[in-house]
Chain A
Amino acid sequence: MQNQELLKLDGISKAFGKMEVLSGINFTIMTGEVVALVGDNGAGKSTLIKIITGVHKPTTGEIFFKNQKTKIKSVSHSRSIGIEAVYQERALADQQELYRNIFAGREITHFWGFMNIQKEKEETEKILKNTIGFTSKAITMNSTVENLSGGEKQGIAFGRSLYFDADLIILDEPTMGLSLQETEKVLGFVKGLKNKNKSAIFIDHNIFHVYDVADRFIILDRGKVMGQFKKEEISQKELMDKMISLHHSGNF
């Protein structure tokens, strides 16, 4: 089913004051596709992600989601149409229980905003068991996030995005600071997305991880798309060489 357009960016630019961070970004993400955004620090990756998730609004340009022209107004709006971001650690609150973290910002409620704690706990238990596959007895829905390892936190963030049935999952540095074993697990999650016919945008500094999980690579440099390659068109070494030459000379 890799034939439908899920997300299309058309001429997206973003300026903060006089500083143009992104200029004329065009690309498309298909259903069931994992696309890696690669580029050095300051290339504009995180600004681009923040535009897609509704944190920032583009200065010019248009976003099409599921073939509909869409103005993404806020984080909750992007979530409601099926875009979910998994940020390394940053989108979990340490001292709060797991079930509260999973449902934060979209609590299950009875009436007048009173939360259905029982239901949230039941659903969390299901997510822990079925979606994430936590078997450790030490982790329950009443655990607080601060007691989890980096990989477990990432697992919670993934579980959350899958539970809410996002079509496009954005992964910002999901393996940063993880142990080898945990990294494997996270990369496994990403590969598993394809079977569920979900799409993902993947950002990682580690080119080995990127090459391992992504179907396509979009190279960003200084706010512009410098090139797009399918995995079969380019070897890992070639990709790396391109990155290096880009870093030194500003072109391939």
Chain B
Amino acid sequence: MTPFSSEFFKYYRLQVSIFSILVGLVIIYVVGNPLAFTSFPLYRAFMSTMPFFGIIAISATLVITLGEIDLSFPSVVGITSLIFGSALVETESFFIAFILSVSVGMFAGLINGLLVTKVGIPSIVATIGTMFFWRGLVNVIAKGKGIAITLVEGSLHHKIFVGRLFGYIPAQFIWFIITAIVIGVIYRIHTFGNHVHFVGDNQESARMMGINVDRVKIIAFVQLGFFASFAGIFTMYEMLYFWPSQGSGLLMTTLAAVFVGGTSVFGGKGTIFGTFIGVLIIGSLEAGIIAVGLSGFWVQFIYGLMITLSVTVYAFLLKKKT
């Protein structure tokens, strides 16, 4: 397939569409406020905050491609961050805190996976349950109190997570790109990613082709649990603080990024590239809207417009020819 041939555009129509939307937005931003959008600080701010939900969005693309959903990851961010913060303050060991935090994240994912596959509860219902459960547990343990983790400032692991590369580029953005590339490769050319597509497309045929449907689903939920805890650490390291509602604002922006990125709501189709661009779009909207001179009251309205429009366009692009 030669680049930019008609076959290329047909095959990559989703990626081309979403990329065009981003380019269109950037043009609007630059025309609307040349001063802010042609200088670096705004982009540095974007790069420091987008990874908080971007890393989760990349990982959640696998679950959405399966035709499943996870509403519990914001609470998993909460509980794992609480554990990370407490363990860090208690032991002063990054290593112990990290291991504890990601283990609990993966355990939370495992529970979601088992509820969906072995117990047979639809994921939207199962993860509403675990969403309240984990957030509730955070409230019970933290009792409304935050945890300051200023002790990590200046340490090597702090630099690795949220330092500034060459003094400019937030390290978490590099992590976000690495995550996207690794999961993107798995999504396209690893057997696991391939099986995710087949299970999401048609669970029964996948089973008849000898794919272990339950295992694929469980692994997908577990890796999302892992990345939820991972993303939580970035947020805490940037803010140097844990607060009990941490993660609770992530749900809508994260899922919006995945859907704006063109992953099919029905499962079986999607791209990590799309989600990546979706994160850039959703993550820049709020600041963009304000910067071009609209009031903050417009933010949700334009979110809604973007999401509805893009999902409608994709529905047409992917319409099944019968």
Contact with B along A70-98 (1 / 0, CB 8 A): 00001110010000010100111111100
Q: Is the CB of B209 within 8 A of A75?
A: yes
Asked whether A240 is an interface residue with its Cβ less than 8 Å from the other chain, the reply is no
Report which residue of B208, B211, B321 has the largest number of chain A beta carbons within 10 angstroms of its beta carbon.
B208
Asked whether B11 is an interface residue with its Cβ less than 8 Å from the other chain, the reply is yes
Q: Measured between alpha carbons, how far is A147 from B320 in the docked complex, in Å? A: 8
Residues of A within 8 Å of B208, CB to CB, are 53, 55, 75, 85, 87, 90-91
Least CB distance from B52 to A in Å reads 30
Q: Is the CB of A90 within 8 A of B205?
A: yes
Asked whether A146 is an interface residue with its Cβ less than 8 Å from the other chain, the reply is yes
Residues of A within 8 Å of B119, CB to CB, are none
Contact with A along B60-94 (1 / 0, CB 8 A): 00000000000000000000000000000000000
**9-residue interface stretch from B160-168, B185-193, B249-257, B276-284:** B185-193
Q: Is the CB of B192 within 8 A of A75?
A: no
Residues of B within 8 Å of A76, CB to CB, are 210
Q: Is the CB of B210 within 8 A of A105?
A: yes
Q: Is the CB of B189 within 8 A of A115?
A: yes
Of chain B, the residue at the smallest CB distance from A102 is B209
Least CB distance from B185 to A in Å reads 8
Known: A90-B204, A114-B190, A146-B321. A95 touches B209 (CB 8 A): no
Contact with B along A97-120 (1 / 0, CB 8 A): 000100011110100011101000
**9-residue interface stretch from B21-29, B33-41, B172-180, B194-202:** B194-202
Q: Is the CB of B190 within 8 A of A115?
A: yes
Asked whether B269 is an interface residue with its Cβ less than 8 Å from the other chain, the reply is yes
Q: Measured between alpha carbons, how far is A117 from B207 in the docked complex, in Å? A: 22
Q: Is the CB of B190 within 8 A of A147?
A: no
Known: A104-B206, A113-B191, A142-B11. A93 touches B198 (CB 8 A): yes
Q: Is the CB of B210 within 8 A of A96?
A: no
Report which residue of B185, B192, B206, B210 has the largest number of chain A beta carbons within 10 angstroms of its beta carbon.
B210
Residues of B within 8 Å of A113, CB to CB, are 190-192
Q: Is the CB of B209 within 8 A of A105?
A: yes
Q: Is the CB of A93 within 8 A of B207?
A: no
Q: Is the CB of B268 within 8 A of A93?
A: yes
Known: A105-B210, A115-B189, A117-B189. A91 touches B194 (CB 8 A): no
Of chain B, the residue at the smallest CB distance from A112 is B190
* Cβ contact of B210, chosen from A90, A106, A117, A142, cutoff 8 A: A106
Known: A104-B211, A105-B209. A94 touches B190 (CB 8 A): no
Question: Which 9 A/B pairs are nearest by Cβ-Cβ distance?
Answer: A76-B210, A105-B210, A93-B201, A105-B209, A75-B210, A113-B191, A91-B208, A104-B209, A95-B268
Point out residues on A near B: beta carbons under 8 Å.
Answer: 53, 55, 74-76, 79, 85, 87, 90-96, 100, 104-107, 109, 113-115, 117, 142, 146-147
7 contacts between A and B (CB under 8 A): A74-B210, A76-B210, A93-B205, A100-B198, A104-B194, A115-B189, A142-B11
Point out residues on B near A: beta carbons under 8 Å.
Answer: 1, 11, 185, 189-192, 194-195, 197-198, 201-202, 204-211, 264, 268-269, 318, 320-321
